[in-house]
Amino acid sequence: MRIGIIGSGMMGSTLGTLWAKAGHEVRFSSRHPETLDGLVQKVGANASRGTVDETAAWAEVIFLGVPFSAMPELADRLAAPLAGKLVLDANNVIPARDGALVDEVKLLGHGSGGWTQKRLPKSSVVKAFNTVHFKNLADAAHREEGRMGIPLAGNDARAMKKAEGLVLDGGFEPILVGDIATSARFDFGTKVWNSNMTGAQVREALGL
């Protein structure tokens, strides 16, 4: 699959590396793509780099790992190129960091994933990977036993299936929580957030 990484920082570079290792074509993007040469070289043959807009147009699946404050402008700009595509949204909305957006997400009442889905109405947004610190993702990937659980929330069954596959390819256990509004159940500050739970533990914590 052609996976475009928007926000090739701690999260984007970690997951992009795991997906490239699993055989996917991964394009890392940046507002300064030349800064990604070292990463692309390290990841190897399946990796390339581009601008944010090129990457959005090229990819079949998009991974979003940017500060939430960047999202309003990015969503306006990328809604058209991302139409019809799976968008994996790992962003967290954090009170101390994201100001008025925190209230906007709360008011909407569909979790941070619901906010992104509203702003990318023609994409299939799946909330994923927002619960785990990037270092723990890198360390726990493909663990022999007790795979780390990655809760997923999204409205579109086909997109959820694809997201499940990408969680497995990364070396984790996908946990289907429900529609996009259920992303609120694993947003910043919830019981499962930053807990490093295994799949079984996530299921138990969320009563699934």
Ligand X SMILES: NC(=O)c1ccc[n+]([C@@H]2O[C@H](COP(=O)([O-])OP(=O)(O)OC[C@H]3O[C@@H](n4cnc5c(N)ncnc54)[C@H](OP(=O)(O)O)[C@@H]3O)[C@@H](O)[C@H]2O)c1
Least spacing, CB of residue 131 vs ligand X, in Å: 7
Question: Could you give the CA distance from residue 116 to residue 125 in angstroms, rounded to a whole number?
Answer: 7
Q: Could you say whether residue 133 binds ligand X (CB under 6 A)? A: yes
123 in contact with ligand X (CB under 6 A): no
Of residues 10, 37, 3, 13, the one with CA closest to residue 92: 10
Alpha helices, DSSP H, located in the chain:
10-21, 37-43, 52-58, 71-78, 95-98, 100-108, 111-119, 134-140, 157-170, 199-205
**Which of 9, 72, 171, 178 touches ligand X (CB under 6 A)?**
9
The distance of closest approach from Cβ of residue 26 to ligand X in the complex, given in angstroms and rounded to an integer, is: 15
Choose, by CB under 6 A, the member of 11, 22, 88, 159 that binds ligand X.
Answer: 11
91 is a contact residue toward ligand X (CB under 6 A): yes
Assess 65 for contact with ligand X (CB under 6 A).
Answer: yes
Q: Tell me which residues touch ligand X (CB under 6 A).
A: 7-12, 30-32, 35, 52, 65-68, 70, 74, 90-92, 130, 133-134
